[in-house]
A = this chain, B = another copy of it.
Amino acid sequence: MKKEMKYVLQAQEEMSYLSGIAALLDWDEKTFMPELGITARGEQTRIINALIHSKITDKRLYSCLSMLKKAALKHHERLIIDELYKQITKVRRVPSKLVDELSRETVKASSLWQKARKINDFNTFKPSLKKVIALKKKQAKYLNPKLNPYDSLLNEHEEGLRSSVVTSLFEYLKEELVSLLNDIKASKKFGQIKPLKLGAQEREQKLLCDDIINRMGLSCERVAFNKSAHPFTIRIAPDDIRITTRFLEPMEAFLASAHEAGHALYESNLPRTYKDTVIYDAASFGLHESQSRFWENMICKSKAFWQGYFKILNKHIQVPLSGSEFYSRLNIVQPSYIRVSADEVTYPLHIILRYEIERDLISGKLKVDQAKGAWNKKFKEMFGITPKSDNEGILQDVHWSFGAFGYFPTYAIGTIYASQIHQAMTKELPNMQTHVQELSFKEITHWLKKKIHSKGKARLAEDIIKSACGEGLNPQVFVKYLRSKYAHIYDL
């Protein structure tokens, strides 16, 4: 089996380098590429993706894997072969005709979505969205014939998680969050706490963002930082990770940097022994999001953090507020239409709304023609307000246009995981609060590396969380965290 193993490892290595190239093409497109480069970039990306696809569907690779699957292997080889076999058999089940159709239709849908956004009209996007949904349902059946279509798509983002579980925990969460939101809205402080608008030159914002990224332990030897229209993190190689933010408002830029740096820490600390294999990857989308949310919310929006950091912020940007006034404004809770600028309390409600709609669109319970109505009705129920336009409502997110169904729930799952990690860490690190106040993050990053990052894709996200936190996904921990934090801010 030595020859077969060698072949498989070499194939993975090449795929890993090609994926790195695809990542660089993407990063560059979003950061540096001149506008008119887009046509050629599309072709360059197509060529690299076709090469990756031909490696994945290579017959010899499959026959090696099939042999190795039945062979006696060392533990680490077993992990690699089983995961790769699983991924590849799945890809092989989807007919290439369907892959092509999906690829062509999502390109079309993305362009129609952009057009629809420009004229603020969901109708323009609808016909293409219908086709994408029909194709995704087909794809779902091939990916995992034993699951219902939505579960199959969800499984691609959060392996092992079922929509029945998501539905019931989101039901609980919705009730709790709406109730907390209503308490906040009824409080005396609501309306007194004003939004935070600082304003600053891009250069000052950049220095501030550099500061938090460095404090979180990311070194510029390994991680590059730039700006883009939408913040993101991408791995080009194990020692070449890129993060971006945007410089509209200083605190938005700062929190987005901390968020992306959280993702980058995960990518930096994956298990090196599995470099250039399928195990050298995050366990799930939700677990990845837990790492970004942990730093953004549990650390960089916490009272303890600002007890230490407020004076540093003031070195970069003069804040004409007291520390406690600043802290309240930073954590202002306010129902609003746009997911990406939502606060900690309302953010998961935006996700639950999208989950309910996409789940029903895939099951067929909801038609695309009814989707906008459903969106606005649910929005009114949860937030007490109704979107005044499609751009403020159902047209705001790009995800569905590229076929990403089953993705949205992972944002909320990540946030819940983050609160569980925060709780477990607080128990285990007796001086956690002091560390955060003193902006000394070594023990925190060490904990994350040891219990989360270094596991790679060797285990399911849910199992990693069970080991790290003593229990699996538990929204009650998140609700408790929010209740305690916001009771303090809003005098509940």
Which residues of A come within 8 Å of B, CB atoms? 14, 17-18, 20-21, 24-25, 28, 32-37, 39-41, 43-44, 47-48, 51, 203, 220-224, 226, 236-242
Contacts and interface: CB of A to CB of B under 8 A. Distances in A.
Contact of A221 (B36, B48, B51, B242): B36
A236 B37 contact: yes
Nearest to A238: B40
A130 to B, nearest CB: 33
Contact of A224 (B20, B32, B242): B32
Contact of A14 (B32, B47, B220, B241): B47
A25 B223 CA distance: 16
Contact of A40 (B37, B39, B240): B240
A220 to B, nearest CB: 6
Contacts of A40: 17, 20, 236-240
Contact of A36 (B21, B51, B239): B239
A36 B240 contact: yes
Contacts of A203: 203
Nearest to A14: B47
Contact of A44 (B17, B224, B239): B17
A236 B236 CA distance: 18
Nearest to A47: B17
A10 B395 CA distance: 39
Given A25-B24, A41-B240, A43-B17, A34 B220 contact: yes
Nearest to A13: B43
A221 B35 contact: yes
Give the interface SS of chain A, mostly helix, strand, loop or mixed.
helix
A217 to B, nearest CB: 14
16 contacts: A18-B47, A21-B48, A32-B242, A33-B224, A34-B220, A34-B240, A35-B220, A36-B222, A37-B222, A37-B237, A37-B239, A39-B237, A40-B237, A40-B240, A41-B237, A41-B240
Contacts of A242: 32
Contact of A240 (B14, B33, B223): B33
Contacts of A17: 40, 43-44, 47
Given A17-B40, A20-B44, 20 more contacts: A14-B47, A18-B47, A21-B25, A21-B44, A24-B44, A32-B32, A32-B242, A33-B224, A34-B222, A35-B220, A35-B221, A35-B222, A36-B222, A36-B239, A37-B222, A40-B236, A40-B239, A40-B240, A44-B237, A51-B51
A229 B240 CA distance: 19
Nearest to A40: B237
Contacts of A18: 47
B222 A32 contact: no
- Which 3 A-B pairs rank lowest in CB-CB distance, beginning with the nearest? A37-B240, A40-B237, A36-B239
A33 B226 CA distance: 11
Contacts of A220: 34-35
A34 B226 contact: no
A48 B48 CA distance: 10
A242 B221 CA distance: 23
Contacts of A14: 47
Contacts of A236: 33, 37, 40
